[in-house]
Structure 1
């Protein structure tokens, strides 16, 4: 029997007989998830004390949508299920995980030769891909950040007694990697992220890859390092149209799908609408990486969530107290199309011109000009997406794809050639056949 001291009061208090699972926080309900996202924003005194006791310090508030709270719930559930399937103290697993790590870091012999790396597979593993889809400037990065804060990001040592003596394993709760549409570049980003996360050296220069077998090598290396670190969750971020839909991106999608299938380690892909459309072109990978799909639209302009986003920005950035003035809520909806990150960006610019309730009682004369200047780089996307949503015609598929990251998630299938069926009658058909 082993004894572990939990480093988080959110962790399960009673031993499960699974030393890594004991380190994973319990699955939060929606109220707990909302409190964890929003932190001090509109929290009760009791909730604040609980957060401080659990975390040691409060994080910056994120005014979450219901779908973000659902995502946290599902991610934690997937992480816990993954560790139930690969219990570190189950017969042979400890040795298997250490062997997989040795395979990943396998060096060539003195003649420079090396046997091809094998891909270690966990018996009975099932894919646990989670696809989170939302349009641009809707908080994908801060959502990933909050998930990592909930699960933890520092590697934790786990010491087990074996017949040969005490053995130290490691548990890495979360690894965050930025997307690339080229497999060699993505593997480089994976190694660059993994080394610092595990407090190790420069793995990018240490681990040599046979470029002639790049896909097999990348899969073997990533599987080996993930199993060796008892990784809880792999988060792949910045998945957008520019690279996710390229021809070379298919190999990246494929490797990520095979990784979660071989190991059962959850892979969370944070994609824009255009980025997700790239995955739709690859049926095998899409099945493995979208076991759970959560789509999040911008909040409705008359919703409590939108009012909360505006009130938070009003209080934290513009120096106001209480709820945001109704004129500010309406103006921000008009100019940002309810994109949460753009509200923050706009208010940071506005704060340079005025601060406090007294200043914001009425609309400043140059309000629109200030916000439009702050959103200069987003104006083309915002205006064209609005035209597309209003049914304006005249766009080619190529021009639509330029703004695909900004479209609502429901438009994703329409971006993939062949998924949208043309049902309008052909003018040159006989009348009896046009229907």
Structure 2
């Protein structure tokens, strides 16, 4: 890791530790409100409003903890049951949904331990960097010059100016250690929170079933849209040309005896029409499964794709050989859509495609030096990539700050027993 990376990550972790302390303290009044809401729940009517209202506040606080844990490298999924249809706040169904969800009580059980852990680990995250910064700024020396007793690090008390200046290297060392250790402390806090805030095994299964249901619906919709596209392309392209071809040949048959020259002219037109129909069919086939993908595999197909992109595109791959055909097809079209977005919307000058296999999944990264600001909700391209990958339990992450660069990282589960190959590169 580059030195700037660990310094940046460490400073972010220190700031996260600073934020964690007041957020952890906030857990205590939320716990008090939750207890009060539970007491009020015995009052008809009032309890159906109080407990759900406080629970929503607790869930908002728990969601914030989950997001902070994700930034620390410990993703925590939301474990809550989906709300019932047509349930209104204050109604019995809404109240029952809140009370019967195990995640409600796990959130409540987390509030006090989470407060203690958050304050303790947040203070520890700050303590070493602050103490190291104290030595770097020579504060012990200035205090000892006025009091003649202040000490620092291994020297206590500081009795000479020379000993005072030794706070500088000690402070630098302590500050470095504090910055290096801070990300680990934040991850430890995140892992502690996941014990309470993460889904249980039953909740994981429930979420998995829900995801599969949505994924299956998206896949069915995508397949239906693809079939409609193929039908439209056939109807508007090859079918029209073939009908015209049949009519032209019929006219040539009628003219072959009385007007041989005219018949030859019609047959020439028929030949041109048949060539155009064949081109339409080839184009349609390429949209379903490109021949280059079947012939040269994903590596060669992506390189051919990069050659067709109007901006200079570099391709780097490290693949174990041929992958399963459905995986190669999904990966190819995902990369193609990402490159199309870079070409149409980013005003990029260059693009880069990276493909590698981790042993359990295929990872694709498409980056460009364009304007950035890409948003999956702003168009169908990135959403289409997500739907295509979701059919294989794949994921897509996007980094596109204003001003660029835009980096689309896609991952497809794809176990392989083939040995890894050395990376190859090229430019399209």
Interval containing the TM-score (normalised by the shorter chain): under 0.3
Q: Which has the higher helix share?
A: 2
Q: Highest CA radius of gyration, 1 or 2?
A: 2
Q: TM-score, normalised by structure 2?
A: 0.20
Q: TM-score, normalised by structure 1?
A: 0.20
